[in-house]
A and B are shown apart, each in its own frame.
Chain A
Amino acid sequence: MNEFHLTEDQQDCLQELINIAMGQASDQLARYLDTFVYLKVPSIESVEAKDLMKTLSQQKNTMAVVSQGFFGYEGIRGESLLVYQEEDSGRIADLLGYEPDELSQDEQLIDISSILTTTFLNVFAQQIDNRLSYNAPKLLPNVQEILSEHLQQMPFTWELALKVNINYQVTDYSFNCNMILLIPETAITNIKHVLDRILEEY
């Protein structure tokens, strides 16, 4: 049994907190793109460190990964990874509609990732009575060795990751991106306590 094993009620509570965070992140994305974002129920699962490394290294149609660290009170900290498929990052650039030399595709991807990550995490943190600060987002080059090196060089030990599978459909376009939250054990224990506290209110 892993640290993130949740009871049915805890799972339902976490899913609802994530839905609310996701809804606001999508609203920000929609405003940024000046369009409507079609929202689906995001699926969540927890992944062990070694399995995550394996999954990420097996995704051969190389992707872009934008990584951003976050930290709050009471041991809440982690790293958010937004994982894009290669074919999708081009579509996102189309959507953004910048003049080609105004902002590079990389910069656009970093922008959009940071909007999604910080809005999502701010709303999530608010609901669990926490407040987060962020490091600057970083786009990792499409090289597997660099990705695994990056994952191994986190400033904290993470045994588990919370994987939130998000699918965005933006008008005629659709793109998938996975938000992967790498969370150390202390933060996981803290989140579970907060979930229990919320559940006690009902």
Chain B
Amino acid sequence: MSARRIVGTLIAAALIVFGGYAALFIAPDEATMHAIQRIFYFHLPAWISMFTAFTVVFVANIGWLTARKQKWDSLGVSAAEVGVICCTIGLITGPLWARPVWGIWWTWDARLTTTFILWLLYISYLLLRGLLEDPERRATLSAIFGIFAFLDVPLVYLSNRLWRTQHPQPVILGGKGSGLDPTMAKVLLVCVIAVLAIMVFVLIDRYRLELLRREVEELQIEVELRSLDAPASGTSTTRKVQP
């Protein structure tokens, strides 16, 4: 581990610890929702991280199709996995918050539905990658699907917006989102930066892992090719029967 990584990890850890402390103790009590509202300081950052990650997937998909560099494909799959994790966090913290406040776990509101569809789409993206054998083809075809999925997001949002116009606005981020308390806004900012930093660190780690995995795959192919070559070079016939 390089010194830069250690420092970076420490900063991210300090940020998330401070963010957690600030969300629980510094941020003022919300007038109607009280303590449960504090989940917001992790719910919204998870959302922002998710959208960042999925935007990275989209950029990586286009990057692969235009440049054909393997790193773009590795970045795409890494960001998709991290994005799905952030999305899952958002989907878990959301109902936990909604149940005491709205009285229901789930509602088919535009935002919620869009996130849910987004989650399904990127799980399909990862599934598709798992089912394609040839690395080059896997990269290209999953990139095409990724671009289609990303294009679908605004359409999902728009369709739900048109469909469920009568639905009440989400409590904090509705039209009156500007009414956030200044201390709340500062705590929120810290939490957004903390969660984003962790997302980026996980993404970098996952990306490195993917690069290492590719290297292992290439080495394995090389080993197989050599073991195929060996009997042809006429060293010994007994080597063929080796397991």
Partners in one complex: no
Residues of A at under 8 Å CB distance from B? none
Interface residues of chain B, those whose CB is within 8 Å of chain A, are none
